[in-house]
Amino acid sequence: QKEVEQNSGPLSVPEGAIASLNCTYSDRGSQSFFWYRQYSGKSPELIMFIYSNGDKEDGRFTAQLNKASQYVSLLIRDSQPSDSATYLCATRAGVSGGYNKLIFGAGTRLAVHP
């Protein structure tokens, strides 16, 4: 069973700080990695994806991928109370999964307090 693991949290950070969310995955064949944000009672919304080792930045968000260690992380700089949500990590299944399915972690709840 291919797995994606996340700490459920809550991760509590003060406003303006950097929030660091981490995710590990078991399938070495995973090729694409995604971060979704989900507000309470809403559906997940894609905020970042990354395919290559290293960092990818988009505004206040940075995704980091290390395939050798099988982890992917999301950094949120200058955290705002509006960033308070559950963040889901997902990987695209490799050859065995037919490339079409995403495997989701259970999510990390982030709470940004003023």
Partner 1 sequence: DVKVTQSSRYLVKRTGEKVFLECVQDMDHENMFWYRQDPGLGLRLIYFSYDVKMKEKGDIPEGYSVSREKKERFSLILESASTNQTSMYLCASSSSPTSYGYTFGSGTRLTVV
Binding site for partner 1 (CB under 8 A): 32, 34, 36, 42-46, 49, 88, 90, 92, 98-102, 104-107
Least separation in angstroms between residue 19's CB and partner 1 is 20
Chain centre distance of CA 97: 20
Structure tokens at 87: 């963040």
Least separation in angstroms between residue 27's CB and partner 1 is 14
Least separation in angstroms between residue 84's CB and partner 1 is 17
What sections of the chain are H helices per DSSP?
Answer: none
Least separation in angstroms between residue 96's CB and partner 1 is 13
Nearer to partner 1, 50 or 79 (CB): 50
Nearer to partner 1, 22 or 32 (CB): 32
Nearer to partner 1, 61 or 104 (CB): 104
Nearer to partner 1, 13 or 90 (CB): 90
Q: Are 17 and 79 in contact (CB under 8 A)?
A: yes
In angstroms, rounded to a whole number, what is the distance separating the alpha carbons of residues 28 and 75? 23
Structure tokens at 92: 């695209």
Phi, psi of 32 (to 5 degrees): -135, 150
